[in-house]
Structure 1
Amino acid sequence: MQGEQSKIDWSYSGMPDGFFGTGATVAEQTIVWVFGLLGTAILGWVVWTHSIPWAWWQFAVAALLALDVLGGVVANALNSCKRFYHSPVKPEETGFTGLAKNHFAFTAFHVHTVIVGVLFGKLDFGYGFFWYFALLVSTVVVLRLPLYLRRPAALGIIMLAVLVNLYIFHPVIGFEWLVPALFLKIVYGHVVQEEPYRG
């Protein structure tokens, strides 16, 4: 509905949850699992029907990467995640959870393209590290901008990443989806602060 109003609420409580955001509702968690599993299943079907010659362990690694990235695109768009990751670290948010609230550190954890380049791209370190550093640089660029420019800049960066992935720095077979989804997950979903609504 046009002009629909909803309450913006930055407060949360409960056991620290870096996956869905502390205080995520059942509906929020469910939508992440539905799209994450559905996307992973579609990719598994595509790889299987196109007879990509992967070993069993490569299928397992690819499924975990797909679930993390595709589910993460949805998770990082949740109001609970926006609330959690764009709020100050609380005393009970220690260790990895507290570190993950640092946007640059969170991005640095995402070595997915390096893994894919090494394990699926016949030791293609160029692919892996090019996109890894592109992701890090993109995060820094967006974070250095004024808040009102971060969303459009993030989407512009994602658009460029899609074009480079398609036409310049060709993706590893079976992972054509990885760079666009990873940039959606991190550069827009995680880095861009947006109002967390309730109800």
Structure 2
Amino acid sequence: MMRIDWEPPAPRRGLSGSWDKFVGPGATNAEEIVQLGLGAVIALALIGLFWQGATADHMIWHWVFVVVLALDIGGGIVTNATSAAKRWYHRKGHGKRQHFLFVCAHLLHLGLAALLFAAQPMVFFAVAAGSLLLGTLIILFTPLYLQRPVAFGVATLFMLLSFVPEMALPNLNWLLPLLALKLLLGHLVKEAPFQPEN
């Protein structure tokens, strides 16, 4: 049997508390294993995809960026879908402003990707960032009962940008689709945080 619990426990103290505030306090052991294990597998797959097409033109900073990005995206996709994260990031007092700022923090990903990989950095960043923020606002201001289908539609449109030639990122074309999964579908959509019965 499962129950729905919207009340997150208080974060632990110290380093564990910092982790709790990042992924959501009260995560079950299974949630921890899934987000760390599956997140690591996704990150390794993304790094492998980049490595497969890497050239001598890719310098150390390209690699550092891709490794950090892959870890953040891989872990974030899984973590943002956990009940612990849903309960934490959709708790009372954590509203539209906080969700919008969370997405805004990821504009750094788009800016660095544009600078390091895009043929037209300003065009890539303007289109990707503008579309991400517009999609975020649409989802945030959609009535709750329509939020999930609207988010899937908005995320699909955002993903399709990666197929536009001007938006190509060599060996990194997974960035926009996976950001859509992490942010537009994972982080923003409010879903019931099911918990196992004790």
The interval holding the TM-score normalised by the smaller chain is 0.7 to 0.9
- Equivalent positions of 1:59-98 (< 5 A) are 59-89=63-93
Aligned residue in 2 for 1:94: none
1:7 to 3, 10, 24: 3
1:27 to 27, 30, 34: 30
Scaled by the length of structure 1, the TM-score of the pair is 0.85
Whether 1:37 aligns to 2:40 is yes
1:127-186 CA distance string (max 9 Å, x none):
123111211111110111110111000101111122222145432112110101101111
User: Identity of counterpart residues, as a percentage?
Assistant: 32
- Compared with structure 1, are the counterparts of its residues 191 and 183 closer, same or farther at alpha carbon in structure 2 (3 Å cutoff)? same
1:29-87 CA distance string (max 9 Å, x none):
22112222212212222222323331122111111111111211111100000000111
Aligned residue in 2 for 1:92: none
Is the CA contact 2:162–2:176 (under 8 Å) kept in the aligned structure 1?
Answer: yes
- The root-mean-square deviation of aligned C-alpha atoms, in Å, is 2.1
More helix by share: 2
Scaled by the length of structure 2, the TM-score of the pair is 0.86
Structure 2 distance, partners of 1:38, 1:129, is 31
Is the CA contact 1:99–1:105 (under 8 Å) kept in the aligned structure 2?
Answer: no
Which secondary structure does the structure 2 equivalent of 1:176 belong to?
Answer: coil
- Equivalent positions of 1:1-199 (< 5 A) are 6-15=2-11, 17-52=20-55, 53-89=57-93, 102-111=98-107, 112-121=109-118, 124-167=121-164, 169-199=166-196
Structure 2 distance, partners of 1:109, 1:23, is 25
Which secondary structure does the structure 2 equivalent of 1:7 belong to?
Answer: strand
Which secondary structure does the structure 1 equivalent of 2:8 belong to?
Answer: coil
Pairs aligned (count): 187
Structure 1, gaps ≥5 residues long: 90-97
Aligned residue in 1 for 2:14: none
- Letter of the aligned partner of 1:51 in structure 2? A
Structure 2, gaps ≥5 residues long: 12-16
Structure 2 distance, partners of 1:164, 1:171, is 9
